Every structure is written in C-alpha cells, then in structure tokens.
Structure 1
Amino acid sequence: MDLIIKNGTVVTATDTVKADVAIRDGKIVAMGADLPLDGAKVVDAAGKLVLPGAIDVHTHLAMPFGGTTSADGYLAGTRAAACGGVTTVFDYPMQRKGMTIKQVIDSKKAICEKEACIDYAYHCIITDLNDGAILDEMESAVASGITSFKCFFVYKKEGMMVDDGVFARLLLKAKEVGAMLNLHAENPDLIDYNVEKFLAEGKTSAWYHYLSRPEYVEAEADKRAVHWAKHLEAPLYLVHMADKEGLEAAIEAKKENSNIYIETCPQYLEFTSEVYKRDDGRNFVCSPPIKGQESQDALWKAIKNGGIDVVATDHCPFQSHEKDWGINDFTKIPNGCAGIENLYPYMLSAANQGKLSYNQVVALCASNPAKIFGCADKGSIAVGKDADIVIYDPSVDFTISVDNMHSDYDHTIWEGIQVKGYPVQTYSRGRLVYDHGDFVGEPGWGNFVKREKRPTK
C-alpha cells in the first residue's frame, strides 16, 4: 500500500460507513476495518468525513468573453478547484466557424498538459456546423473521449447562437453517436428587445441586466428545449438552471422517462436578484442572471427531492476593473462569477446545517456528474476507483474571502459568506494536492479524462 486513510467516516451517494481506505498506484484497492498497514503512509481521519472528490462539470477557464478573458486560466482554476475539494474539472472550449472539434480540443489539451493541477475533461461548444462537417466529426470525437457538446440559444450577435434546426440536428446526432448535448437556454429575441428598450430609457444599472432576462425569458427556452429533446427522444443536459417555471417543466419531462438532466449552480442557491440593486451589483452579473426568491425556493426544493441532478459552478470570474466597465452600462459588464473553490464547501455546509444529507451532496457534486458524463473511474469511494479523495472536517468554521482563495481574481461574490465545515485535505489519484489551507500539488499533474460514450438506441 502507498497510503491508508484510517478512522474516518466514508460517505458515498448511498452509504455512510466507518472504514479505512487503502490506496496504491493512484487507485483505491481496499476498504474495511483495521486494514494491514504494509508500510503505507497513514493519515488519521478520526472525526472527519472521507468523501469522493467533487467533479465540477461547468467551468470557463481562460475564456475570451466581453472584450477580455476570464481571470482564471487552467493553472489558477485547477489549483483553486483542488483547494476546494474538486478533483476533476470540465471546461467548455469553443468551436468557431471553420474550426474542427479536434482543433479546438487539442489546443486546450496542449495547455492543460502543462498547467492542470487536477484531472480535466471537456465539453466542446458548437457554434457552427461547418456545412455539416461537425456532425460528421462528432462520432470520432466521442471515440476520443469527448462525449458531450454544448450549444447556446443566446449570444446571437456574438455569433455563438444556434437556431432550433441546428439544435435538433445536434440532438439527433448526439443520440446516434452516444453523446450528450448541453444547452444554455434563454430567449435571445426577448433579451435583445429588453436591452434596447432599457438603454433607450437610460436604465443602465446592473438591476436591468436581471430585468432584461428575467424568469420567463429563461423559462421559454427551457420549455422549448425540453419539447424538442422529448419528442426527438434525445438526451439533453440543461446547464445552470435558475428559474422556477423552466425547472418544473424539465422535472415533468424527467418523470416521463425522458433523458433530461438538470444542473444548477451555488450562486442561484445562495443569492437572489436583489443583489443587482447593490452598489457592487455588477460583480454578480452572470447569465442567466440570479433570479427571485420564488425561483430560489424551487431550486432548493428540487435539490432536496432529487429533481436536480448536478450542482456545478459556471466558474467564469473577471477582475473588478473589468466588471467596472459596466458601471454606467450593464451591457458592458463581462458575464460571470467565481465559484470553483466554493462549490463543495458550500454544499457540504448546507448538509452540515441539515438542509440536505451528505449523501445527497456527494450525489449532486460527484457521483451523478461521473455517471451522466461517463467518468467510469470517478465519483465514488469504492475499490477500483481513482483515489480522488477529500477529507472534510465538519467542525471547522470558515469565512470565505478573496484573501483565502487560491484563484487569480481580485474579488469574489462569496466574500464574507460563512460555511460550517471545510475540506482539510484533497488527494488527486492518491497524491496530496491540498493540505490545511495550502496548495501542495503541481501544474501538469492533471490527466485528461477519456470518457465512456452513452448507450445508443
């Protein structure tokens, strides 16, 4: 054995047991009571929880957007992830007209091989079919381990939106080749109408970012996407769900055995649209925007009853001076917020305070993402799995601040938020990468996760 984690309480999506965990060559090789030490290094986890590392399946690292690039590149983003108990990240590289999927992915892999501190995977954003060549390439992409793709119902002017016809073709092709299609669902025409109206009226504060794309604007697109996925019998993953009406429509479709999966994000669970009335409201600008209390309540209800499958972050932070571009014009605010280091601590704190169970948190942040996106070696504490392990101390009181995070941004929407309990160690394939507040890993340690394709009919 290389390492034995002793005396801890192991938490999976289904079980909570007192057990030791033995690790060799980056894999979990044994679990049980009083395992033989065999010269292994011993970590005493008495009084602590032993959890699978979280999988953040929604990040935008080094992403060009709004005239700048997101503040966390692959080194900073994966470093911060490790320090928050995330052991695998999924990024969203973007295909543009004339580019192949392979070109897009290979360009990002070349960076991650040097910079990634934990394991990584990709969903490729499709913005143009290149006269059908992209559809033809999707099968070979799946064979190479890229088994999910994303498209936008928004950002028409930026050349990123797909129409319903392209969306349907992508859904059908994904079903055919064993892939998943992810979608950002909002209605672009209503957004453009509202933005034009508010600017003409001189209504330019961050509050009008929310009012330009309120609940019903997202809900219409959610319902439309669910309609096509249901009738085409194709799998669909709705990213960053934030509104009550769309959420309820998606849950109803799930009840009809549709292959529809729902993701939400911590910012929608913690904050409401009232933040956009604050003096620093521009810092909270993301899309879809944070919604009202009724939507937040619906999200928490769905978290508790299993209607939501995944909690991920949509991590896409920008520097404060870049957010300040929109002090007098909300359309100039780069869209995105930090969250990659806060995901697991926030959700585990909710469990610690009785909002849901630790098992549910593991399901939402680790095992469900692994199952949905074909990460066979990830997502659970079990023999044969990668030794991606977080040791969590439920007794620690922790206050989030930009000063104790490990990213490259200069502010965070989570400033001053208090959580009960906190990760004290993170292991990536058996290697200690975070230890009691300090990052102790190294750039380039992370491996590309080649994923299994979905069953095809």
Structure 2
Amino acid sequence: MDLIIKNGTIITAADTYTADIAVKDGKIHMIAASLDAPEGVEVVDAAGKYVLPGAIDAHTHLEMPFGGTTSADSYEAGTRAAACGGVTTVFDFVIQGKGKGLIESVEARKALCEPQACVDYAFHTAITDLRPEVLEELEKSVEYGVPSFKVFMVYKKEGLMVDDGVLAAALEKARDIGALVSVHAENPDLIDRRIEKFLGEGKTSAWYHYESRPEFVEAEAVKRAIHWAKAFDAPLNIVHLACKEGLDEVTKARDEGYQITAETCPQYLYFNKDVYKREDGRNWVCSPPMKGQDSQDALWEGIKRGDITTVATDHCPFQSYEKDWGKDDFTKIPNGCMGIENLYPYMLSEANKGRISFNKAVEVCSYNVAKLYGCAPEKGTIAAGSDADIVIYDPNMSFVVSKDNMHSDVDYTIWEGVEMTGYPVMTFSRGKLVFKDGEFVGEAGWGQFVKRKGNK
C-alpha cells in the first residue's frame, strides 16, 4: 500500500458511510471499517471531513483559438486550476479543421496536452466537415477511445456550424456504432437577424448579447435537435442547457423513453441575465447566455429530478483586456467564461446548504459523467479497483472566491466575492497529491489520456 485515508465520511452517488481507504499503484486497493498502516505507508487523517470521488469536467475549451484570440488557459493552467477545485479528469473539445480527419485532429491536440496535463484528460471531437470518409472514421474514433462527438447548430460565420442534414447523418451513424452526439443548440439565423437589428439601433452593450439570443432562440434549437434524435432513435446530449423551455423538451422526451441527456453549467445555476446590465457585464458573455430567474429555478429542479444528467463548466476564459474589446460593441466580446476551479466547490457548497444532497452533487459532477462518457467504473466513484481520484472536503471551511486565490492564468473571475460553505482541502489524482490547503502541489505531465468505451 502507498496511502491510507482514515476516518473520513465517504460519499458516492449512492452511499454515505465512514471507512478507511487504502491506495496502491494509483488504484483504490481496499475499503474497510478500519485499516492498519504498515510502516512507511503515508496516512491522511480525514476525521470530520468528507471523502469524495474527484469531479470530471466534461466540457472545457483550453488553448482554443476563437474570436480572433485564444482562450486564456493553456492545458497546464487549466488542468492545474482543475486540480485545485477537486476536478481530477478534464474533457477538452478538439475542433476538426476543414479537410482534416477526426483522429488526426485528436492526436494533434493530444500532443499539445500530454506534456502539460496536471490531471487526467479526455477529448470530444467537434465535427465541422462531415465528408463521407469522415463519417466512416467515426467508428475508428470510437475504437481509438474518443466515442463522443459534438456538432454546433450555431456559429455559421465562424465556420463551425453544421446543417440539419449533417446532424441527422451523425446521429444515425452514432446510433449504429455506440457513439454519443452532443449539440450546442441555438438558432443562428434568429441570432444574426437580431444582432443586425440591435446594432442598427445603436444598442451595443453586453445586455444585447442576451437580447440577441434569449430563451426562445435556444429552445427552438433544442426542440429541433431532439426531434431528429427521436426520429432516428439515436441518443443525444444537449450541452450547456440554459433555458426552461429547452429543459421541458428534454423532460418530455425522457418521459417518453428516449435516450436524451442534458448538461448545464454552474454559471447558469448561480447567475442570471441581470449580470449583463452590469458595467462589466461583458465578462459574463458566453453562449448560450445566462437566462431569466425562471430558467435558473427550472434547471435546479431538473437536477433534482434527474433530467439534467451532468454539470460541467464550458470553461473558455479570456483575459479582461480581451473582453474589453467589446465594451462598445457586444459582438466583439470574446465568447466564454471561466469555471473549471469553481464547479465542484460550488455544487458541494449548495449541497452543504441543503439545496441538494451531497450524493446528488457527486452524481452530476462525477458518477453520471463517467457513466455517460464511457470511463466508468475507473472514474466517477470510490470503489475497490477504481482510480484513486479522491477529494477530501472540509464542510466547515468558509471560502470566498477571488482571482488572488484561483490557480488559472486568467486575470479576473466572474466568481469574485462568492462565498462557499465548505471547500476541498486535498485532491489526489491516481493516488498522487496534487492540491493541498490552497496550493497546487502537482506537476505538469502527470495527467494521462483516458481511453473511453463506446456504448455498443
């Protein structure tokens, strides 16, 4: 044995109990009521604390070229921040370039990530050029260990959007090979029309980012995507779902027995559209934008009843001076927010306040993610044989978020001043201590590529 964690309260998606954990060779070797430590074995006393599986952030954009710049966190900075927030596996999106293959695109990003990653990592591939040979390559990608794909129903001018025919073809193929298609659901034609109108009227503040893509712009695309998934009896995942009407469609489809899942983000659960009225509202510009309070309330209810399956961040931050490019024109604001270090602390804080159970927080931030994306049971739980991705959480600790106590390379945080009730105090990645008492203690290059399984 290499490590024993004693006296902690273990919390998984299903159970809460007190026991000791023995770690050997990066795996959870044994769980028992009481374990004696052989000489030379490190012992961590977790009395009075909770012991949780590490979170899995299944939606990030690190070092992503977008909007005339590149997202501010490198693979090293982003995974370092992840470790400090109790996230032990990070999924990043590979954007397929025009004329490029899927595995070719993944391997280029993997080569960039491998020497930098501080925790384990996996990829989804965003399909932008579904040529016949690329459609056939989907199955090879599943075998390679990347069985999840994304299509953008928006960003037409940026060259990322696919039409309904491509979405349908991807859904049919994914159904047959055990892959999963996720969609960014917004209607681009409505967005472009509304942007043109607002700019013509001299309405250029961040508020009009929201007004250009309000609830119905997202809801229509969610309905359309679910319609095609139902038509082809294919699984579908809606990422960064932000509106009540879209969630209602997810609930309806799930009640009818279809394989529809949905992800939401912590920024939608804490902030609402009023942030865009602030003088610095451009810092909250992301797509889809934060919506009204009724949508936020509905998202929390969706988590409680299980219609929102996962919570992830869509971490795609830009520096404040880059956000300032759009202070007089909302269309020039780089699109994205930070959150990779705030995901687990926020959801656990809400559990600590009684809004949801701790088991539910683990479920949507870890267990469901591993199960949905094909990396269970190695990830997502605390059990013998699983990876020793472990977070020790102090429920009595008070923590106020500031850019000064975050660990990414971004020069501000939208979470500035938010108080967390309880906070992670230690993070282990495959048994290695990578975060302790506010400090990153890991190393770049430690993280490993997670080869995942399809659902065939």
Where on the TM-score scale, by shorter chain, does this alignment land: which range?
A: over 0.9
SS at match of 1:92: strand
Shift of 1:38: 2.3
1:203 aligns with 2:197: no
Taking the aligned partners of 1:265 and 1:426, their CA distance within structure 2 comes to: 22
TM-score of the two chains, using structure 2 as the length reference: 0.99
Report matched runs for 1:23-422 at 5 Å: 23-39=23-39, 40-129=41-130, 131-376=131-376, 377-422=378-423
Taking the aligned partners of 1:366 and 1:58, their CA distance within structure 2 comes to: 13
State the one-letter code of the partner of 1:217: V
State the one-letter code of the partner of 1:53: G
State the one-letter code of the partner of 1:445: W
Taking the aligned partners of 2:307 and 2:146, their CA distance within structure 1 comes to: 26
Taking the aligned partners of 1:387 and 1:358, their CA distance within structure 2 comes to: 19
SS at match of 2:94: coil
TM-score of the two chains, using structure 1 as the length reference: 0.99
Long gaps (5+) in structure 2: none
Taking the aligned partners of 2:431 and 2:412, their CA distance within structure 1 comes to: 32
Shift of 1:96: 1.7
Taking the aligned partners of 1:140 and 1:190, their CA distance within structure 2 comes to: 36
Long gaps (5+) in structure 1: none
SS at match of 2:227: helix
SS at match of 1:382: coil
1:423 equivalent in structure 2: 424
State the one-letter code of the partner of 1:240: H
Taking the aligned partners of 1:251 and 1:401, their CA distance within structure 2 comes to: 36
SS at match of 2:4: strand
Shift of 1:175: 1.1
Q: How many residues align?
A: 454
Shift of 1:306: 1.5
Give aligned-pair identity as a percent: 65
State the one-letter code of the partner of 2:223: K
Q: Which runs of 4+ in 1 moved over 2 A?
A: none
How big is the alpha-carbon RMSD for the aligned residues of Structure 1 and Structure 2?
A: 0.6
Q: Deviations over 1:44-101 (max 9, x none)?
A: 0000000000000000000011100000010000000000000000000100210111
Taking the aligned partners of 1:155 and 1:317, their CA distance within structure 2 comes to: 18
State the one-letter code of the partner of 1:311: V
Q: Deviations over 1:120-142 (max 9, x none)?
A: 0000000111x311101111110
Taking the aligned partners of 1:253 and 1:361, their CA distance within structure 2 comes to: 24
2:16 equivalent in structure 1: 16
Shift of 1:277: 0.4
Taking the aligned partners of 1:52 and 1:147, their CA distance within structure 2 comes to: 23
State the one-letter code of the partner of 2:74: G
Q: Deviations over 1:121-170 (max 9, x none)?
A: 000000111x3111011111100100100010000111110110000000
Whether contact under 8 Å (1:180, 1:235) holds in the other structure is yes
State the one-letter code of the partner of 2:413: T
Q: Deviations over 1:346-403 (max 9, x none)?
A: 0000000000000000000000000000002100000000000000000000000010
Whether contact under 8 Å (1:323, 1:333) holds in the other structure is yes
SS at match of 1:93: strand
Shift of 1:304: 1.5
SS at match of 1:99: coil
Taking the aligned partners of 1:167 and 1:96, their CA distance within structure 2 comes to: 17
Shift of 1:199: 0.4
Whether contact under 8 Å (1:151, 1:161) holds in the other structure is yes
Taking the aligned partners of 2:195 and 2:113, their CA distance within structure 1 comes to: 37
Shift of 1:36: 2.8
State the one-letter code of the partner of 1:387: A
Taking the aligned partners of 1:350 and 1:61, their CA distance within structure 2 comes to: 27
Whether contact under 8 Å (1:112, 1:446) holds in the other structure is no
Shift of 1:37: 1.4
Taking the aligned partners of 2:426 and 2:397, their CA distance within structure 1 comes to: 13
Whether contact under 8 Å (1:101, 1:124) holds in the other structure is yes
